[in-house]
Amino acid sequence: MIEIVKYIAVIIILMGALLSLVTTIGLFRLPDTYTRSHAASKSATLGIMAVLSGTALFFWVDKGFLSGRLILGIIFIFVTSPVAGHLIARAAYKTNVPLWEKTVHDDLKGKYDEQEKERRGEQFDS
Amino acid sequence: MKSNDIILQTAAKFVTFIIMIFSFYIFLGGHFGPGGGFVGGLLTSSALVLMLLAFDIKTMSTVIPFDYKLLIPIGLLVALGTGVGSFFFHVPFLTHAFGHFTLPIIGETELATATIFDLGVYLVVVGITMTIIQTIGESE
């Protein structure tokens, strides 16, 4: 039984490493900031969560010790990494980082112009 | 500038809770594992800095109306007090004592006076980090 669960843990950890590799390839291959942020925040999160849960499973079965820190780390990564991706992409859009030239659809077009005008106006007034 | 930061603020409220608990765990577990007063203090101040990033400095000073500069002398006094306290038992300065006690809920635990010294380190680290960051953040 313990050997079977060890192999399951190995498979989960290898899946996580593979997802991290896919993230890196995506960071090199994708054309602009937003698609790269899409690759980095999704697959890296799942990869790290898979590695951490495989490690927690291995230590739980093999050493009989369920690490609360690893479970807390899984929850923490799951909450923070998408928020970080969202903030990076939003900061990029607000500072007028160009989209890929083959982009066909931009829902946020013009939504930030008002704020931009207000910000510039405040800067000129002061 | 008013901006719509609701995702960052909601996530920061939740994550600050986790970081605070983890820093308390690190602080108490420093005797037998990695951790201690310094890392615990840095983690606590990182949780406070995260709240400072999500909200602004005025909101933080109304939520926690406390001068972080006061934490530095309090922590130094606590650390010095553990050293001076050893004079009452006719032992050298900063002598460390420990014993096994039975606490009501937790059961039998080992309590050491090094924890009180660590508490002083913790308070000084939180005070210094928050003072530095708030001073840099306030200057225009």
The ipTM, to two decimals, is 0.77
B3 three-state secondary structure: coil
Burial of A20 (0-12, 13-18, 19+ CB in 10 A): middle
Provide the pLDDT for residue B40: 95
User: What is residue B25's DSSP assignment?
Assistant: H
Task: Give the C-alpha separation, A80 to A72, whole Å.
Answer: 12
Is residue B1 in some structural domain? no
In this structure, are residues B61 and B45 in contact, taking their beta carbons and an 8 Å threshold?
no
**Cα separation of B25 and B19, whole Å?**
10
| CB burial string B62-83: b at 16+ within 10 A, e below | eeeeeebeebbeebeebbeebe
d(CA A64, CA A3): 14
Residue type, B47: A
Q: Is residue B94 part of a domain?
A: yes
Are the beta carbons of A122 and B7 separated by less than 8 Å? no
Enter the pTM of the model. Answer: 0.82
Cβ atoms of residues B84 and B95 within 8 Å = no
In this structure, is residue B41 part of a structural domain? yes
Residues 6+ apart with CB under 8 A from B50: B12, B15, B16, B19
Q: Domain tally for chain B?
A: 1
B91 assigned to some structural domain:
yes
Beta-carbon pairs below 8 A across chains A and B: 23
Residue with tokens 């006094």: B77
Cα A94 to Cα A72, A123, B55, B125, distances in angstroms: 33, 16, 19, 36
Q: Which of B1, B3, B15 sits opposite A79 (nearest CB)?
A: B15
**CA nearest to A67, candidates A82, A56, A80:** A56
Provide the pLDDT confidence category of residue B1 given band limits of 50, 70 and 90: very low
- pLDDT given for residue B57 in this prediction: 83
Which residues 76-95 of chain A have a CB within 8 Å of chain B?
76, 79-80, 83, 86-87
Summarize pLDDT for A34-82 with one digit per residue, the tens. Answer: 999 999 999 999 999 999 999 999 999 988 888 889 999 999 999 999 9
pLDDT on residue A63: 87
Q: Does A113 touch chain B (CB under 8 A)?
A: no
Nearest CA in chain A to B3: A115
C-alpha of A61 from chain center: 29
Structural domain harbouring B95: 6-138
Residue B28 lies in a domain: yes
Looking at the predicted structure, is the pLDDT value of residue B2 above 60?
no
